[in-house]
Chain A
Amino acid sequence: MKLLNVSGSPHVHSDESTKKIMWRVNLALVPTLIVAIAFFGLNALLISLVSVASCVLFQWLIEKFILKTPSTVCDGSAVVTGLLLAFNVPATREMIWLVIIAALVAIAIGKMSFGGLGKNPFNPALVGRVFMLISFPVQMTTWPKPGENLFSMVSQPTTDATTGATPLGLIKENGVQAAGQVWDYFVGNIGGSLGEVSALAILIGAIYLLCRRIISWHIPVSFIGTAFIFSGILWLCDKTAFVDPLTTILTGGIMLGACFMATDMVTSPMTKAGQLVFGFGCGLLTIIIRNWGNYPEGVSFAILLMNALTPLLNRWFKPKRFAN
Chain B
Amino acid sequence: MKTFAMGGVHPEENKISTAAAIEEFPLPKTAVILMNQHLGAPATPCVAKGDKVKVGQLIGKAEAFMCANIHSPFSGTVAKIDTCKDAFGLAKPAIYINIEGDEWEESIDRTPDIKRQCDLEPKQIVEKLKEMGVVGLGGATFPTHIKYSIAPDKKAEYLIINAVECEPYLTSDHRVMMEHAEEICIGVSILRKALGVPNAYIGIENNKPEPIAVMKAMAAKFEGIIVEPLKVKYPQGAEKQLINAITGRRVPSGKLPIDVGCVVSNVGTSYAVYEAIQKNKPLIENILTVTGKKLAAQHNYHVRFGITYNDIIAHAIGTLPETTGKVISGGPMMGKAVSNLDGPTTKGASSVLVIDESEATRATESNCIRCGKCMNACPMGLEPYLFSALVKNRRIEEAGQHNILDCIECGCCFFSCPANKPLLDEIRLGKNLYRGILMAKKK
Residues of chain A contacted by B250 (CB below 8 angstroms): 322-323
Q: Tell whether, in the assembled complex, residue A5 and residue B333 are in contact, meaning their CB atoms are under 8 Å apart.
A: no
Q: Tell whether, in the assembled complex, residue A324 and residue B252 are in contact, meaning their CB atoms are under 8 Å apart.
A: yes
| Residue A1 is within 8 A (CB to CB) of chain B in the complex | yes
Give a binary string over B357-390; 1 marks a CB under 8 Å from any A CB, 0 the rest: 1011111001111111101001111110100000
Q: Tell whether, in the assembled complex, residue A323 and residue B414 are in contact, meaning their CB atoms are under 8 Å apart.
A: no
Residues of chain A contacted by B362 (CB below 8 angstroms): 7, 13
Q: How large is the interface on B (under 10, 10 to 19, 20 to 34, 35 or more residues)?
A: 35 or more
* Cα separation A87 to B425 with both chains bound (whole Å): 41
| Residue A133 is within 8 A (CB to CB) of chain B in the complex | no
Q: Tell whether, in the assembled complex, residue A13 and residue B414 are in contact, meaning their CB atoms are under 8 Å apart.
A: yes
How would you classify the secondary structure of chain B's contact residues: helix, strand, loop or mixed?
Answer: loop
Closest chain A residue, CB of each to CB of B251 = A323
**Which of B107-115, B174-182, B324-332 faces chain A?**
B324-332
The answer to whether residues A12 and B325 also contact, given A5-B337, A21-B371, A320-B381 and a CB cut-off of 8 A, is no
Residues of chain A contacted by B355 (CB below 8 angstroms): 11-12
| Residue A117 is within 8 A (CB to CB) of chain B in the complex | yes
Q: Tell whether, in the assembled complex, residue B369 and residue A21 are in contact, meaning their CB atoms are under 8 Å apart.
A: yes
The answer to whether residues A14 and B415 also contact, given A5-B361, A9-B333 and a CB cut-off of 8 A, is yes
Q: Tell whether, in the assembled complex, residue A1 and residue B403 are in contact, meaning their CB atoms are under 8 Å apart.
A: no
The answer to whether residues A323 and B406 also contact, given A8-B428, A14-B9, A75-B366 and a CB cut-off of 8 A, is yes
Please tell me which one of the listed residues A13, A119, A320 contacts residue B415 in the complex, with CB atoms under 8 A apart: A13
Residues of chain A contacted by B357 (CB below 8 angstroms): 2, 5
Q: Tell whether, in the assembled complex, residue B339 and residue A6 are in contact, meaning their CB atoms are under 8 Å apart.
A: yes
Total contacting residues, chain A, CB less than 8 A: 36
* Cα separation A1 to B323 with both chains bound (whole Å): 8
Closest chain B residue, CB of each to CB of A311 = B370
Q: Tell whether, in the assembled complex, residue A1 and residue B418 are in contact, meaning their CB atoms are under 8 Å apart.
A: no
* Cα separation A301 to B332 with both chains bound (whole Å): 47
Interface residues of B in 346-361 (CB under 8 A from A): 355, 357, 359-361
Enumerate 29 A-B pairs (CB-CB under 8 Å) in ascending A order.
Answer: A2-B324, A4-B339, A5-B325, A5-B360, A7-B326, A7-B425, A8-B422, A9-B337, A9-B409, A9-B424, A10-B333, A10-B415, A10-B424, A11-B360, A14-B415, A14-B416, A17-B418, A18-B419, A20-B418, A21-B418, A117-B367, A118-B370, A266-B370, A271-B372, A320-B6, A321-B381, A321-B403, A322-B244, A322-B380
Given contacts A14-B415, A265-B371, A322-B244, 17 further A-B contacts (CB under 8 A): A5-B337, A7-B362, A7-B422, A8-B425, A9-B334, A11-B328, A11-B360, A12-B168, A12-B359, A13-B362, A16-B373, A75-B366, A270-B383, A319-B382, A319-B383, A321-B253, A322-B240
